């Protein structure tokens, strides 16, 4: 699939402080692309450089083969951006904010009216159309911010930490909203330091650490690159695992760890190992209380990658 956005060798420094180092990304169209990493790793700077707010020290960004430097007005027209600070005017109502930013994005007056109606409905702010933005709740403000980013029907939507500072219920709402937007064929580029959130939502994930791109790929690709083994977590009724350990030991089983009340088995073939475990338990007359097959989490992958890079995270 041809990439919609190409980031080539982008580096950015503020004075002596090097924030981004030689970043290369290829972002496919109509997908959700996540940029993950801890706070201060350069995620926001990367997004703001990609939209042209910051000029890169080196490298270039291309949108649909057009260079950002030469086609900034066009690119601003096809990109929507929602930041973590909620870029709206608190003293304007929901409708007024949308009217204002719609006008700035060259949306014709008639189209703007229908866009406002649609977007308000889409972000579920129908009851708050004439409310001042400052009177909205945190989640509603975030939705308004996303609505402002969508008012000109952008083909690409950049979301900087969209669930930051939101409670779990609001976070769930926003994530659902992102999925709805994407289902409308809008490419989404989002940053997050909540790795499990990105894991759930993103089609492609780029892992950023101290301004460097550590890894980029689908969640599956990332897991595979991290480890080919699965983990089986087992808890039985009797919780006596010594006989069981002897019975399931095969060449596929790489490691068995008795962690008190549970057994953790690392295997390169989860299916055959599971079969062996079930047979052994049935024969011993014991019963299974809980059994999980776990793939390595994004957090584990990230931690492993950071460890490999040998650099402590900035600001930690």
Partner 1 sequence: MVKLLEVIKKNFKILIRSKSSALIILFGPLLLILLVGTAFNTSSFYDIKVGSYSTSYNNLSNSILEKLEQDQYKISKTKSEESCINGVKTGAYHICTIIPADLEISDSAENTIAVYVDQSRLNLVFAVKGAIIERVGESSKEISESLTSIVVNELESSKNELREDTSILMKLKESNELFTSNIYKIETELAGIDLSLTTTATGEILNKTKELKEQLAAAQVDDTRKVTEIEDLTKLLKEQLDTLSGASKLVSEIVPQIKENAIAESSQLVEIERTANRIITNVDAIAVKDVETLISPIKTSVNTVSAEKTHVNYLFPTLIMMVVMFVSLLLSCVTVIREKVSSAYFRNYISPTKASLFVLATFLTNILIIIMQLAIVLIVMLFIQPELSNTLLNMGGAIIIITSSFILLGMIVGYIFNSEETATIGAISLGTILLFFSNTIVPLETLPVSIQKIVDFNMFVVSDSILRNIIIFGTGLKESLPEIQILLIHIAAFVLIIAAIYNVSSKMFNIKRYLHK
Interacting residue ranges for partner 1, rule: CB under 8 A? 14-15, 17, 45, 51-53, 73-74, 76-77, 79, 81, 83, 85-89, 91-92, 96, 99-101, 103-106, 109, 132, 148-149
Q: For residues 125 and 137, is the Cβ–Cβ distance under 8 A?
A: no
Q: Which is nearer to partner 1, 47 or 274 (CB)?
A: 47
Nearest-approach distance from CB 96 to partner 1, in angstroms: 7
Nearest 10 degrees: Cα torsion 217, 222, 228, 229: -150
- Among 279, 235, 230, smallest CA distance to 253 is for 230
Nearest-approach distance from CB 267 to partner 1, in angstroms: 45
Q: Which is nearer to partner 1, 67 or 225 (CB)?
A: 67
Q: How many CB atoms lie within 10 A of CB 14?
A: 10
Nearest-approach distance from CB 128 to partner 1, in angstroms: 16
Nearest-approach distance from CB 138 to partner 1, in angstroms: 14
Q: Which is nearer to partner 1, 84 or 268 (CB)?
A: 84
Q: Which is nearer to partner 1, 192 or 267 (CB)?
A: 192
Question: Which residue matches tokens 């600001």?
Answer: 315
Q: Which is nearer to partner 1, 74 or 261 (CB)?
A: 74
**Number of helices (H), then strands (E), in the chain:** 11, 14
Nearest-approach distance from CB 44 to partner 1, in angstroms: 8
DSSP 3-state assignment of 47? helix
Task: Please spell the DSSP secondary structure of 152-190, one letter per residue.
Answer: T--SEEEEESTTTT--HHHHHHHHHHHHHHHHTT-EEEE
């Amino acid at each position: 699939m041809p990439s919609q956005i190409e980031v080539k060798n982008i580096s950015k420094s503020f004075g002596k402080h090097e924030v981004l180092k030689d970043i290369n990304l290829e972002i496919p169209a109509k997908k959700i692309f996540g940029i993950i990493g801890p706070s201060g790793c350069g995620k926001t700077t990367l997004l703001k450089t990609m939209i042209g707010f910051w000029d890169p020290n080196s490298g270039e960004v291309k949108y649909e083969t057009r260079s950002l430097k030469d086609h900034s007005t066009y690119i601003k027209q096809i990109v929507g951006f929602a930041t973590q600070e909620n870029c709206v005017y608190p003293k304007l109502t929901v409708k007024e904010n949308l009217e204002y930013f719609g006008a700035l994005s060259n949306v014709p007056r008639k189209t703007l009216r229908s866009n406002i109606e649609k977007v308000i409905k889409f972000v579920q702010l129908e009851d708050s159309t004439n409310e001042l933005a400052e009177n909205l709740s945190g989640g509603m403000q975030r939705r308004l911010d996303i609505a402002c980013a969508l008012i000109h029907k952008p083909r690409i939507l950049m979301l900087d930490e969209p669930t930051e500072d939101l409670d779990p219920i609001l976070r769930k709402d926003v994530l659902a909203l992102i999925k709805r937007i994407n289902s409308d064929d809008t490419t989404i580029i989002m940053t997050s330091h909540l790795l499990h959130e990105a894991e759930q939502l993103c089609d492609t994930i780029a892992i950023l650490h101290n301004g460097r791109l550590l890894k980029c790929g689908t969640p599956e690709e990332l897991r595979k690159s991290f480890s080919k083994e699965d983990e089986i977590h087992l808890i039985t009724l009797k919780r006596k695992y010594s006989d069981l350990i002897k019975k399931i030991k095969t060449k596929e089983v790489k490691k068995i760890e008795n962690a008190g009340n549970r057994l953790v088995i690392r295997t390169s073939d989860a299916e055959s190992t599971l079969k062996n475990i079930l047979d052994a338990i049935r024969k011993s007359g014991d019963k299974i209380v809980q059994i999980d097959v776990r793939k390595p989490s994004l957090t584990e992958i990230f931690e492993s990658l950071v460890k490999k890079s040998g650099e402590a995270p900035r600001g930690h």
